[in-house]
Amino acid sequence: MNREERVCAVLEGKEPDRIPVSVWMHQSDVDQDPRSLAERLSEFNEKYDYDFIKMMPFGAYTVPDWGAKLSIYCDRFKEVEIAAPGVGEADDYLRIEPLPAVYGTWGKTLQLTQHLSRLVAPHTPYMQTLFTPATTLKKLVGTERLAKDMREHPEYVHQALAAITETTINFVKANIEAGVSGFFLATQCATYDFLDDTLFAEFCKPYDIQVINSYRDVTWFNVLHIHGGNIMFNATKDYPCNVINWHDRYTSPSLKEARAMTNKVFLGGLREVPTIVGSTLHYDSILATDSPDQIRTHVQEAIDMVGGHGLLIGPGCVADPHAPEENLHAVRKAVER
């Protein structure tokens, strides 16, 4: 099987020749230049012979066009940070207006897709990274401020979410034209550490579904990433995406527990847990700290949890960029039959 056939087999409930695998991490030394980043992602995937590419635009790409201030280091081991929010007063929500896909950092990230489409090896699926509208607004406003404003200024928050949703859908359509296989939609809001069920149902889920509906019947490889601990798995497991990814080696449910809850395909199995401390990422990472033999055992444990079915091996979130080459090769070797 080629890479695309292998991934498709899993998504269709068929038996692949082996379990597909991929690893992704921030490429912060080149992620301000779309062409350089596309070249790095393609080269990285070929070096380790992974089965698909999850594109890695810098994590704050959705917010500077609405006023967020960034600190950019162009350092492989220091990711872009949000230095100041884009919303200071409640009235600032009203300045968040829909943007075309070619505008600002949205447009620069679209260029990443366009460059990668010309570089990617034949039959290699590649997904663009999206953030849910509420996740973008959370990055733009700040965690505590957004939760407070949802309660005190719901009309402002809804107006901003509508504009962000329209912008995200504009971006989706342009990426489809550029040839993506699908989308990796990340939510940082489906956690009880941030919201309760009522606020999530009002301010997150309706907008998430609008975004997903803009591509669900067009692209074939669509992942929902549920970020963080204490996650709202039940509230999101039935989103119309065919794959779910979360920190399965860090927070409940485990892969085994989740298999009893849904028949969706799972992407995960590797313990990679980035935590924001202040504005900086810190990692709990098996790829950075353990041996190749330990990684192969770790991967086999994940496979056994689901009986080897309905699984793509990958990190629960972004992998630690300090991971040595031998460990990145070990992940790929762990799925050989």
- pLDDT, one tens digit for every residue, the chain (337 residues): 999 999 999 999 999 999 999 999 999 999 999 999 999 999 999 999 999 999 999 999 999 999 999 999 999 999 999 999 999 999 999 999 999 999 999 999 999 999 999 999 999 999 999 999 999 999 999 999 999 999 999 999 999 999 999 999 999 999 999 999 999 999 999 999 999 999 999 999 999 999 999 999 999 999 999 999 999 999 999 999 999 999 999 999 999 999 999 999 999 999 999 987 766 778 999 999 999 999 999 999 999 999 999 999 999 999 999 999 999 999 999 999 8
* 126 in a structural domain: yes
- Look at residue 279 in the predicted model and tell me its pLDDT: 60
Angstrom distance (rounded) from CA 180 to CA 176:
6
* 82 in a structural domain: yes
* 313 in a structural domain: no
* 164 in a structural domain: yes
Question: Is residue 196 within 8 Å of residue 217, measured between CB atoms?
Answer: no
Minimal CA–CA distance to 180: which of 215, 231, 135?
Answer: 215
- Which residues neighbour 96 within 8 Å (Cβ) at sequence distance 6 or greater? 66, 86, 87, 137, 140, 159, 160, 163, 164
* 195 in a structural domain: yes
* DSSP single-letter state for residue 66: G
- Residues 15-52: b if buried by 16+ CB within 10 A, e if exposed: ebeebbbbbbbbbbbbbbbbeebbbbbbebbeebebbb
Other CB atoms within a 10 A radius of the CB of residue 256 amount to 13
Q: What is the largest CA-CA distance in the chain?
A: 59
Structurally, the chain folds into a number of domains equal to 1
Question: Alpha-carbon Rg of the chain, whole angstroms?
Answer: 19
* 220 in a structural domain: yes
* 13 in a structural domain: yes
User: Which residues form the domain of 96?
Assistant: 3-259
* 83 in a structural domain: yes
| CATH number for the domain that contains residue 138 | 3.20.20.210
- pTM of the complete model: 0.98
- Which residues neighbour 120 within 8 Å (Cβ) at sequence distance 6 or greater? 42, 45, 53, 126
